[in-house]
Amino acid sequence: MSNSPLTPGVVAHRLAPAAYSQNFSDVQPVFDRHEARVAADRCYFCHDAPCMTACPTTIDIPLFIRQIATGTPEAAAKTIFSQNILGGMCARVCPTEQLCEEVCVREVAEGKPVEIGRLQRFATDTLMATGVHPFVRAAATGKKVAVVGAGPAGLACAHRLAMKGHEVMIFERRAKAGGLNEYGIATYKTPNDFAAREVAWLLQIGGITVKTGVELGRDITLAGLEADYDAVFLGIGLAGVNALRAAGEDLDGVRNAVDFIAELRQSDKAAVAIGRDVVVIGGGMTAVDAAVQSKLLGAQNVTMVYRRGKEKMSASEYEQDHATQSGVRIIYGAAPIRVLGTGKAEAVEFAYTVDGPKGLEMSSETFTLKADQVFKAIGQTLLAAPIAQDGAKLVTQAGKVWAGGDCAAGGEDLTVTAVAEGRDAAEAIHATLMA
């Protein structure tokens, strides 16, 4: 029997069974062909399109929108995929409101941009639904490349290398390929196992083998890969999680938000335990995803607490609004002092902060929030030594090893940026191998 939403403690099955499928259904309405053509007709098809410049993968946005407007969404999809092979996922999770749509001429003039993200999804979904892969491999080069990490950077790198005719072996420490897309994004943004389906579609290019359950430093070494392969790409992401550095963070009920999101994506939603009073500490996309999904699981009170002001929150204003519209309360300008409880979390004490000339400082004014579950969403770290970048080539000091995505210095924690870095590294690797 389902528990009432008033059930205390951290428990599963808070909601009626039917509520879970409804709550975790697709958050974005999908265009049909007519709606897509109407939306595409709003584009001015700018010659020096600011949207294209704002896109980390430099997709020719005016061209693909024109192709949709003329009734050829499959051609539009190929335009997208030629620059961003994970264009389907990026259409779902990319913060377009901060990138291409923010600089759209329609947004500047009218306050309503062309819906680039939804148009991109329409085009990519249309082509992927045919089951046809739009690219073919070049003649075999005889070169072998190892890719460590099957996240967005690694997959983009592997696909581009395979397309160039190289043989690629991907090593992934988890049980499934996909990285952040598979394990780290809110379920309601990518329902129906889209991440896994996208990986399967990408691998249709051929020439790519994926080995899961293989971890760098445990099962393979960088030196060994350099000896066995002509080049190595590292796209290992950020596996470490920052500590809260507050007393009581080891109490039962306190956990990393990334682990919670991963569990939710890989489990029956009803079986995931959630508290009645949930506190999420952090201000990024992970914090928003953890907070919103806590509400969707039936938590009664969910509060996000961020140490700085609203304008410095890394989650976009759109995401912040989505959180509040989902029933999440957001408190700005407060940092945790300690988690209170005997054996398990019962509350969190915070101090208001002052962000002034001396940086962020704790004030003497405090408050306490009741919490039977606390999620830490204060950033991730690289477990290995930092990987240096060498300009656009993303080549490490080893000379035969490239890196990209979040593990590389300057990682921006965006799928689209990781894709761009993986793709560009592949081009650099290809140029080096064929020189």
pLDDT digits (tens, 9 = 90+) for 106-115: 998 899 999 9
As a whole number, mean pLDDT of residues 138-165 equals 97
Residue 384: band (very low, low, confident or very high) from pLDDT cuts 50, 70, 90: low
Rounded mean pLDDT, 326-330: 97
pLDDT (0 to 100) of residue 29 = 84
Q: How confident is the model at residue 4 (pLDDT cuts 50, 70, 90)?
A: very low
CA dihedral 79, 81, 83, 89 (to 10 degrees): 130
Does residue 190 have a pLDDT over 60? yes
* Sheet hosting strand 329-332, strand order edge to edge: 254-256, 373-376, 277-281, 301-306, 329-332
Number of other CB atoms surrounding residue 270 within 10 Å? 17
What integer pLDDT is reported at residue 27 of this predicted model? 85
Contact status, residue 235 vs residue 151, Cβ threshold 8 Å:
yes
Instruction: For the chain, list the domains and their CATH numbers.
Output: 33-129 (1.10.1060.10), 144-239+382-433 (3.50.50.60), 243-378 (3.50.50.60)
Confidence of residue 245 (pLDDT cuts 50, 70, 90): confident
Coil vs helix vs strand at 163 = helix
Long-range CB pairs of 158-162 (<8 Å, 24+ gap) are 158/208, 158/233, 158/422, 158/426, 159/85, 159/202, 159/205, 159/208, 159/426, 160/85, 160/422, 160/423, 160/426, 160/427, 160/430, 161/426, 161/429, 161/430, 162/137, 162/205, 162/206, 162/207, 162/208
User: What pTM value is reported for the model?
Assistant: 0.92
Residue 57 contacts residue 86 (beta carbons within 8 Å): no
E strand residue ranges, 371-410? 373-376, 380-381, 401-403
The answer on pLDDT for 5 being more than 50 is: no
Per-residue pLDDT, 11: 95
Inter-CA distances, 91 with 124, 136, 344, Å: 8, 23, 40
Determine the pLDDT at residue 358.
Answer: 84
What is the structure's pLDDT at 386?
Answer: 38
pLDDT bin (cut points 50, 70, 90) of residue 383 is low
Taking each continuous run of H as one helix and of E as one strand, the counts in the chain are 16, 15
Integer Cα distance of 91 and 110 in angstroms: 23
**Which residue type sits at 351?**
A
Q: What is the pLDDT of residues 218-232, one digit of tens each?
A: 999 999 999 999 999
Q: What is the mean pLDDT of the chain?
A: 91
294-313 average pLDDT score: 96
pLDDT at site 363: 93
Check residue 357 and give its pLDDT.
86
Query: What confidence tens digit (pLDDT) does each residue in 48-68 have?
Result: 999 999 999 999 999 999 999
* C-beta of residue 42 within 8 angstroms of C-beta of residue 87: no
Dihedral over alpha carbons 286, 416, 400, 223 (to 10 degrees): 30
- Return the pLDDT at 366: 97
- The two tokens of residue 93 are 């999770």
Of 146, 190, 179, give the one whose Cα is nearest residue 419. 179
pLDDT at 41: 97
Residue 250 confidence (pLDDT): 93
For 395-420, give one letter per residue: b (16+ CB within 10 A) or e. bbeeebbbbbbbbbeebebbbbbbbb
Task: Please report which confidence band the pLDDT of residue 242 belongs to, taking 50, 70 and 90 as the band edges.
Answer: confident
Q: Are strands 380-381 and 240-241 parallel, antiparallel or unpaired?
A: antiparallel
* Beta-strand relationship, 254-256 and 373-376: parallel
Most confident of 27-41, 240-254, 402-416: 27-41
Residue 198 confidence (pLDDT): 97
Q: Averaged over 33-49, what is the pLDDT? A: 95
